[in-house]
Amino acid sequence: MEEKQMIAMPRIGEAAPAFTAVTTQGNINFPSDYQGKWVILFSHPADFTPVCTSEFMTFASMQPEFKALNCELVGLSVDGLYSHIAWLRTIKEKIEYKGMKNVEVNFPLIEDITMEVAGKYGMIQPGESNTKAVRAVFFIDPKGIIRAIIYYPLALGRNFDELKRALIAMQTADKFQVAMPADWRPGDDVIVPTAGSCGTAKDRMEKKDPDVTCYDWFFCTKKLPKDKI
Ligand code: BEZ
């Protein structure tokens, strides 16, 4: 009988698996070093590859925007520290791409030659590659809980505007106890819980709150202006 390899796949709502690691910014103790902050832990397949380079330049350029949202970035690949350092230096010194140049990657990039961390986070997906991490993204909240996970294949670069949108959406959902409709962006109406804080279904259908719009008893939205977020 064929033996199936068990692969750890962390799940939404679970504590982020803990690890210590060597990175381009020194050693880290994950996730405890990030308590009280959001963190995006993401993997890329390999240093000195084109899609990964375009991703790192984009993410590094957006780092101040993520910091302003109380979110730190942590990268990982199964390459070693000296490869990481040489690649990041090449990016800074030589690569000009889509108006980005002289890009310094100031967030930690984990070396994971043993694949220990990649294994814990289900980043090695053998159907795609046995030797490289797929493009995984873990959103981890200030309490160390995994809140969202995205996996992309090797040949497809991620959309970093979407990562930022998802982060803002989750932070806003937490703060206002609401849910976000399809394609929500700051300033758009948000979905109110089916029962509770916004009155009964009957109240809502009768339009007692002018900021609430009900499409049916189970589907009500309310205004949440951008400047209130
Ligand atoms: C890239 O980043 O370009 C890449 C890495 C691994 C496989 C395919 C593409």
Q: Which tens digits make up the pLDDT trace of 135-167?
A: 999 999 999 999 999 999 999 999 999 999 999
- CATH number reported for the structural domain that contains residue 127 in this entry: 3.40.30.10
For the full predicted model, state whether its pTM sits above 0.85.
Answer: yes
Residue of 44, 26, 8, 41 whose CA lies nearest to 141: 41
Distance CA 31, CA 40 (A): 11
pLDDT at 6: 56
pLDDT band at 202 (very low <50, low <70, confident <90, very high): low
Rg (CA), the chain: 20
Q: Is 157 in the pocket of ligand 1 (CB under 6 A)?
A: no
> Is 183 a domain residue?
yes
Judge whether 4 lies within some domain: no
Q: Given ligand 1 and candidates 54, 154, 158, which is best to mutate, with the most ligand atoms within 8 Å of its CB?
A: 154
The answer to whether residues 156 and 194 belong to one domain is no
**In a shared domain, residues 148 and 206:** no
pLDDT band at 5 (very low <50, low <70, confident <90, very high): low
Does 136 lie in the same domain as 207? no
Residues 181 and 82 in one domain: no
Say yes or no: 67 and 167 in one domain. yes
Look at residue 170 in the predicted model and tell me its pLDDT: 98
Query: Pocket of ligand 1, candidates 42, 47, 52: which has the most ligand atoms within 8 Å of its Cβ, to mutate?
Result: 52
Residue 208 has pLDDT above 90, yes or no: no
Give the number of other Cβ atoms within 10 Å of residue 3's Cβ.
5
Statement to judge: residues 104 and 123 lie in one domain: yes
The residue out of 132, 148, 175 marking a domain boundary is 175
Give the mean pLDDT of 207-212: 84
Q: Could you confirm whether 52 is annotated as catalytic?
A: yes
CA 101 to chain centre: 24
Work out the average pLDDT over 167-189.
Answer: 98
Same domain, 56 and 122: yes
Structure tokens at 83: 């490869």
Cβ-based neighbours of 82, under 8 Å, separated by 6 or more: none
- Whole-number Å distance, alpha carbon 202 to ligand 1 midpoint, is 54
Co-location of 64 and 84 in the same domain = yes
218 in the same domain as 131: no
Q: How many domains does the chain have?
A: 2
- The string of pLDDT tens digits covering residues 21-65 is 999 999 999 999 999 999 999 999 999 999 999 999 999 999 999
Q: Which of 52, 71, 214, 220 is catalytic?
A: 52
- Boundaries of domain holding 113: 19-175
**pLDDT greater than 90 at residue 200:** no
The Å distance, Cα 228 to ligand 1 centre, comes to 41
Q: Which long-range contacts (CB under 8 A, 24 or more apart) does 28-37 make?
A: 28/74, 28/108, 28/110, 30/74, 31/140, 31/144, 32/144, 34/72, 34/74, 34/140, 34/144, 35/142, 35/143, 35/144, 36/142, 37/70, 37/71, 37/72, 37/142
CA distance 151 to 142: 22
Of the listed ranges 43-52, 83-92, 95-104, 192-201, the one predicted with least confidence: 192-201
CA of 132 to the centre of ligand 1 (A): 9
Q: Are 123 and 185 within one domain?
A: no
What CATH number has the domain bearing residue 208?
3.30.1020.10
Query: Is 45 near ligand 1, meaning CB less than 6 Å away?
Result: yes
